[in-house]
Amino acid sequence: MKIDPNSSANLSAQIAKAIRDSIVSGDLIIDERLPSEAELADYFQVSRPTVREALKRLAAQSLIRTQRGATGGAFVNRLSFKEAYADQVTTSTLLLSMNEVSFDTACEARYALERACAPLSAKRRTADQLATMRTEIFRQSQPSLTDEAYCASDVAFHRALVDGADNPVLSYQLAGAVEAMQPLMNMITFTTRSRGIMVCLHSSIADAIENGDGAEAIDCLHNLEAETRKIAADVFAARAASK
């Protein structure tokens, strides 16, 4: 089933890798129960704490779940898209903050990916998703909204657009690009005027989606990207000048 040479490095990492490989390769099926910690320890010829460290590594990646009690143990976890979103967002956020990705780079990626979804969303969006888009646009038009709440609404709008493509793979891949940008977006203060322009652009996107016009939606997203980058550039320039 899986082996473990007693050479050089971290036993718990090796054991985790062996089990992970078994899961990825399909040797271990979903919901299948792994041997108990004592049995694994015996099998790999290590102590129980070492096995436990290995299992915790796998648990951190949502590959297994553990259950206490008589019929408990470690079970291969079904990795759901919904669960994976959270990790994806966390990882993407850290990647952006730790690697000094510029606003422009992140922005470019985000809108490029959204444009990939737009034609599909124009074809398949549900009435509900369209309604969400309209609701968020209305919210964004309220002047009382704080910058943070405005950004959150922006994410919700784009999330609805992406989900409208009705493709879980796309939604998953995009979760990182869209939501991870929120900290960057939060660095920007929106003036009444810039908000007005963006609400207008959002409306035109929603219109295009409603009319099933994918090409038009792509055009609007191009405009929105240009506007967003322009606003950001202005904010950064003003901030630099005031120093």
Partner DNA sequence: GACTTTTAAATGTCAGACAATAAAAACATT
Partner DNA sequence: AATGTTTTTATTGTCTGACATTTAAAAGTC
User: Per DSSP, what are the bridge partners of residue 74?
Assistant: 66
Is 243 near DNA (CB under 7 A)?
no
Select the residue interacting with its own copies from 78, 123, 230, 239 (CB under 8 A): 78
3-state class of 34 per DSSP? coil
The encoded tokens of residue 129 equal 């998703």
Q: Segment near its own copies (CB under 8 A), from 38-46, 56-64, 125-133, 188-196? A: 56-64
Residue 149: strand, helix, or coil: helix
- Decide: is 67 part of the binding site for DNA (CB under 7 A): yes
Give the largest Cα separation in the chain, rounded: 68
Distance CA 9, CA 184 (A): 39
Nearer to DNA, 9 or 241 (CB): 9
Q: How far from 76 is each of 20, 27, 213, 241, CA to CA, in Å?
A: 10, 11, 43, 55
State the DSSP string of 67-83.
Answer: E-STT-EEEEPP--HHH
Figure out which of the listed residues 24, 38, 149, 237 binds DNA, where binding follows CB under 7 A.
38
Residue 25 vs 192, nearer CB to its own copies? 25
List binders of its own copies among 103-142 (CB under 8 A): 105-106, 108-110, 112-113, 115-117, 120
What whole-number distance in Å separates Cα of residue 179 and Cα of residue 166?
Answer: 18
Instruction: Quote the crossing angle between the two packed helices 168-179 and 81-98, to the nearest 10°.
Output: 30
Nearer to its own copies, 8 or 192 (CB): 8
Q: Does 184 bind its own copies (CB under 8 A)?
A: no
Q: Does 97 bind DNA (CB under 7 A)?
A: no
User: Do residues 60 and 30 lie in contact, with contact meaning Cβ atoms separated by under 8 Å?
Assistant: no
* Residue 30 or 131 with smaller CB distance to DNA: 30
Instruction: For residue 22, state whether it binds DNA (rule: CB under 7 A).
Output: no
One residue of 5, 26, 69, 143 binding DNA per CB under 7 A: 69
Neighbours of 38 (CB within 10 A): 10
Q: Does residue number 61 form part of the binding site for DNA (CB under 7 A)? A: no
| Site of interaction with its own copies (CB under 8 A) | 12-13, 16, 20, 23-24, 26, 30, 49, 52-54, 56-61, 63, 78-81, 84, 87-88, 90-99, 101, 105-106, 108-110, 112-113, 115-117, 120, 165, 167-170, 172-174, 176-177
